[in-house]
């Protein structure tokens, strides 16, 4: 990257390290931290929305919708989440390709599943085999986001369902007595009060989500784990301009510190958020805040 | 090939007995269920042993964290922070790479009159290396649970112990520890279930599956990759784990009833499984 890095063999000490850490591959490594943050930023709102939808479905008066909500919230109990991370992307990919196959190639006569093969017509491939590399990467990432969102949406639905039940019944009955419709009660009374009960659970969930991000590696995405293994492996003089021994343990140490920093920071942020949300709530924390100000 | 024959060939494949090569064709339901079930042996081994060892470590961690002596408290706090604050997946990689760096011949420890050689090669194998990580990980999570329970012991119980002149080790053994267990048990049940789930990560995280002896998910992903069909192998793993979860809940439920046997019937709380609350 720098002009002084033109001849790596002549470098020593700090300048060697600076040049080493700014090679093209290392820049990709740094960018992959962004991939992780992007995954968190995209997944969290989708999962929250899915969770909210799931929790609303379990409260629904319409029975099939309620069953759907129950099945969704019960789905992730008892089954390791990594099974879903492996299952959902392939299942979704094959489902989409199959749909496109039915639409785009109606006169294709051969069966899609032939023995141990899954064959769709070339026009139905996702992304098309002629598509540029970045499209493949974006597609793989999008599938990963969906897998994460579905699993964490189910967890969030559990939390939010519990929080909705935790809102004091008297509050809802009062709203009823004032002549609010069920819809108004839900929007104006239940949802605003629910968050303070949901927050401990959602905090926990966010922590689990952070700690689940390295599983991107299992999905074949070039994330921080991939680059840590790639860059840390020992390099000989012939293969690389910067030969070094097996440094993977140091790279993973960096990742460990990154995750520790992330979880610690989240803890601090959530502690403040909890304080904010407790304002004016009929809970012990809310009462303590009220006493402190008067 | 009949299902009984498949069972004889692959029932203990994950331990290295029976057929040497994994199935290359057919991939019928029986084959997949038998081989994945065989892989469950590893999940059970990792889960049960890690929980057993982790339980004792966790007690030590909880007591150290509650200790007034900073030399005991600080290391325990850091231990819990590091293992609870970072992904298990990264911990696996981290430890595996560390174990690989250890000298292959072993470490010589001079004792003056003689030298003992500490064998380290076995740590790079999954059965020992991953076990170390799982033990430490569950010790940290469980230690935090026990610590929370320790702090939640009703003051009245301790005052009553004082009034009867029960002190020291006797007080810990008869009053503090049983109450701590009783309070911690529901959360500990969750942790146990998560522990079994976490064992599926072992063979995806650096630790190699020697001679294709892997766990349930390892075989399931083998089948899914061979048949391009995720709709059979993964539901089989899921079914095995649902059964395992139900077993764990009923087993821990029995212990919970035993721990609560002196509590009046109507105030007893039933053991509930709330997966999202602890991790």
- What is the average per-residue pLDDT within B110-120? 72
Query: Under an 8 A CB cutoff, do B86 and A207 touch?
Result: no
| Structural tokens at position B52 | 């057993």
Contacts of B3 (CB under 8 A, 6+ apart): B30, B34
* Number of domains forming the structure of chain A: 1
Residue A7 counted as domain residue: no
Q: What is the pLDDT of residue B275?
A: 47
Q: What is the pLDDT of residue B165?
A: 92
Torsion of CA A120, A122, A123, A125, to 10 degrees: 60
Tell me the chain B residues in contact with residue A87 when contact means C-beta distances shorter than 8 Å: 230, 234
Residue A278 counted as domain residue: yes
Mean of per-residue pLDDT scores for chain B: 87
Query: Under an 8 A CB cutoff, do A207 and B217 touch?
Result: no
pLDDT tens-place string over residues B3-16: 888 888 888 888 88
List, in sequence order, every beta strand (DSSP E) within B84-241.
107-110, 115-118
pLDDT tens-place string over residues A34-58: 989 999 999 999 999 999 999 889 8
Query: Under an 8 A CB cutoff, do B90 and A259 touch?
Result: yes
Residue A1 counted as domain residue: no
pLDDT tier for residue B277 given thresholds of 50, 70 and 90 = very low
Compute the nearest-CA separation of B235 from chain A (Å): 9
Residue A10 counted as domain residue: no
Compute the nearest-CA separation of A266 from chain B (Å): 11
Q: What is the pLDDT of residue B178?
A: 92
pLDDT tier for residue B278 given thresholds of 50, 70 and 90 = very low
Q: Is the pLDDT of residue B272 over 80?
A: no
| Structural tokens at position A82 | 């990594």
Q: Which of A74, A76, A116 best probes binding to B when mutated, by most B CB atoms within 10 angstroms?
A: A116
- Distance CA(A210)–CA(B267), nearest Å, equals 38
Q: Concatenate the DSSP letters of all residues of B206-251 into one string.
A: T---GGG---HHHHHHHHHHHHS-HHHHHHHHHHHHHHHHHHHHHH
Q: Is the pLDDT of residue B76 over 60?
A: yes
Write the CATH number for A31.
1.10.3720.10
Q: Considering only residues 8 to 67 of chain A, which have any Cβ-Cβ distance to chain B shorter than 8 Å?
A: none
B183: nearest Cα among B231, B223, B151, B141: B151
Tell me the chain B residues in contact with residue A32 when contact means C-beta distances shorter than 8 Å: none
What percentage of chain B exceeds 90 in pLDDT?
Answer: 51
Residue A6 counted as domain residue: no
- Looking at the DSSP bridge assignments, the partners of residue A113 are A118
Residue A134 counted as domain residue: yes
Which residue range forms the structural domain that includes residue A44?
Answer: 16-293
Q: Write out the H or E segment, with its range, that includes residue A117.
A: strand A117-118
| Structural tokens at position A210 | 């952070």
Question: Count of A–B CB contacts within 8 Å?
Answer: 132
Pairing of strands B115-118, A117-118: unpaired
Residue A213 counted as domain residue: yes
Query: Under an 8 A CB cutoff, do B234 and A117 touch?
Result: no
Tell me the chain B residues in contact with residue A234 when contact means C-beta distances shorter than 8 Å: none
- What is the average per-residue pLDDT within B44-65? 95
Q: What is the pLDDT of residue B273?
A: 52
- Regions in chain A scoring below 50 on pLDDT: none
Residue A253 counted as domain residue: yes
Q: What is the pLDDT of residue B243?
A: 92
Query: Under an 8 A CB cutoff, do A255 and B81 touch?
Result: no
Contacts of B156 (CB under 8 A, 6+ apart): none
Structural domains of chain B in order of their starting residue, each with its CATH number: 3-267 (1.10.3720.10)
- Looking at the DSSP bridge assignments, the partners of residue B107 are B118
- Distance CA(A9)–CA(A15), nearest Å, equals 11
Q: Is the pLDDT of residue B238 over 50?
A: yes
Q: Identify whether A127 is preceded by a cis peptide bond (ω within 30 of 0).
A: yes
Mean of per-residue pLDDT scores for chain A: 85
Contacts of B260 (CB under 8 A, 6+ apart): B182, B268
């Amino acid at each position: 990257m720098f002009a002084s890095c033109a001849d790596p063999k002549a470098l020593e000490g700090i300048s060697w390290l600076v040049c080493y850490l700014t090679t093209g591959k290392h820049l990709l490594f740094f960018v992959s931290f962004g991939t992780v943050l992007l995954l968190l930023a995209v997944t969290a709102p989708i999962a929250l929305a899915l969770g909210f939808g799931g929790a609303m479905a379990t409260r629904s008066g319409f029975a099939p919708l309620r069953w759907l909500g129950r099945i969704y919230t019960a789905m992730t109990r008892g089954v390791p989440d990594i099974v879903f991370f492996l299952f959902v992307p392939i299942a979704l990919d094959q489902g989409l390709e199959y749909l496109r196959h039915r639409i785009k190639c109606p006169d294709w006569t051969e069966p899609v599943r032939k023995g141990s093969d899954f064959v769709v017509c070339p026009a139905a491939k996702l992304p098309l085999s002629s598509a540029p590399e970045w499209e493949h990467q974006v597609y793989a990432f999008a599938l990963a986001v969906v897998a994460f969102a579905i699993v964490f949406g189910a967890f969030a639905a559990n939390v939010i369902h519990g929080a909705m039940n935790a809102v004091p019944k008297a509050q809802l009955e009062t709203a009823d007595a004032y002549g609010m419709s069920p819809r108004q009660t839900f929007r104006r009374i239940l949802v605003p009060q629910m968050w303070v009960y949901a927050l401990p659970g959602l905090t926990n969930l966010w922590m689990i989500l952070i700690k689940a991000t390295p599983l991107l590696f299992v999905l074949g995405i070039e994330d921080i784990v991939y680059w840590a293994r790639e860059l840390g492996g020992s390099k000989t003089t012939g293969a690389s301009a910067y030969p070094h021994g097996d440094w993977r343990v140091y790279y993973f140490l960096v990742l460990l510190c990154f995750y520790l920093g992330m979880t610690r920071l989240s803890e601090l942020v959530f502690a403040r958020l909890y304080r904010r949300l407790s304002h004016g709530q009929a809970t012990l924390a809310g009462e303590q805040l009220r006493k402190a100000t008067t | 090939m009949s299902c009984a024959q498949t069972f004889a060939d692959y029932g203990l494949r994950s331990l290295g007995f029976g057929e040497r090569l994994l199935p290359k064709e057919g991939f019928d339901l029986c084959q997949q269920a038998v081989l994945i079930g065989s892989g469950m042996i590893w999940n059970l081994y990792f889960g049960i042993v890690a929980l057993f060892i982790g339980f004792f470590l966790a007690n030590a961690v909880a007591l150290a964290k509650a200790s007034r002596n900073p030399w005991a408290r600080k290391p325990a706090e850091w231990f819990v922070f590091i293992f609870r604050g970072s992904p298990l997946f990264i911990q696996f990689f981290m430890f595996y790479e560390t174990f690989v760096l250890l000298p292959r011949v072993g470490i010589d420890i001079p004792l003056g009159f003689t030298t003992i050689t500490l064998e380290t090669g076995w740590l790079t194998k999954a059965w020992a290396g991953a076990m170390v990580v799982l033990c430490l990980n569950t010790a940290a999570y469980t230690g935090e649970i026990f610590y929370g329970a320790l702090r939640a012991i009703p003051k009245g119980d301790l005052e009553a112990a004082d009034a009867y002149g029960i002190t020291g080790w006797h007080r810990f053994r008869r009053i503090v520890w049983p109450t701590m267990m009783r309070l911690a048990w529901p959360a500990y049940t969750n942790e146990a279930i998560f522990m079994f789930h976490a064992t599926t990560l072992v063979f995806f995280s650096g630790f190699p599956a020697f001679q294709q002896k892997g766990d349930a998910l390892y075989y399931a992903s083998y089948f899914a990759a061979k048949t391009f069909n995720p709709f059979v192998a993964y539901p089989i793993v899921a079914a095995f784990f649902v059964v395992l979860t139900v077993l764990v809940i009923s087993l821990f439920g029995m212990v919970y009833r035993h721990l609560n046997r002196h509590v009046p019937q109507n105030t007893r709380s039933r053991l509930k499984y709330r997966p999202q609350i602890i991790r």
